[in-house]
Homo-oligomer: A and B are copies of this chain.
Amino acid sequence: MALHAIAASAIDQPGLLFQLTKVFADHRANITSVDIHNTAEESEIYMEFTLADDVIDRVVEDLRAIPGVHRVDETPSFAKIYGKRIVVMGGGAQVGFVAMGAISEADRHNIRGERISIDTIPLVGERELAAAVRAVVRLPRVKLLVLAGSLMGGEITTAVEEVRKNGLYVISLNMPGSVPDAADLVVSDPVQAGVMAVMAVAETARFDLMRQLKRRY
């Protein structure tokens, strides 16, 4: 099963994705990721998929034959370019320092062939944070979530428990509230938390940080 990616431009119209996916279904391709980007009348479509047979040329040819489609190219996949994602959310002050640690550490691993990107959002409010935590598992390529604040609990804790059941690792800063108790790992220093987050997901790391489950540092 080889992984492929294509980028296509087409006239934005209802049913476009239906026609595109029919081509993939016809060739027994398994679509693993889709991104659609609309600009005025145009749709830019990006798709990742695996093919059992060596029919990529025919897939591209059939896509080009769809009315309204004016460009289809093979392209490197997001997994190759942006790699694994770590998401950091919470208060601006703490998110900034976690990001600093994570970016520095990701640099060291990316130089050795990893691809790790650090995505952040400063957010305030229990309801807003809980919704953002729940949505993380619907984002592609996210491996780990860092919660960086000075007080988190209630609905956010429930959301943390839910996403951990979906296989997402969660690191929490040491803070008041029940979120630290629900996390896989609790770290006091935000820079250290960022570094550990990267170590936990890097294939280039020398040991498995997540064997330290439920420890506090």
Contact = CB atoms under 8 A, between A and B. Distances in A.
Interface of A: 7, 12-18, 21-22, 24-25, 28-39, 44, 46, 75-76, 78, 81-83, 91-93, 95-97, 99-100, 103-104, 106-108, 110-111, 115-124, 128, 131-132, 135, 137-140, 166-167
Contact of A81 (B25, B28, B135): B135
Contact of A103 (B83, B99, B108): B99
A20 B139 CA distance: 19
Q: Chain A at the B interface: mostly helix, strand, loop or mixed?
A: mixed
Contact of A18 (B25, B44, B103): B25
Contact of A122 (B28, B107, B128, B166): B107
Nearest to A91: B107
Contacts of A78: 135, 138-139
A128 B111 CA distance: 11
B107 A103 contact: no
B17 A31 contact: yes
B36 A121 contact: no
A130 to B, nearest CB: 10
A6 B60 CA distance: 29
Find the residue from A29, A97, A121, A135 having the highest chain B CB count within 10 A: A121
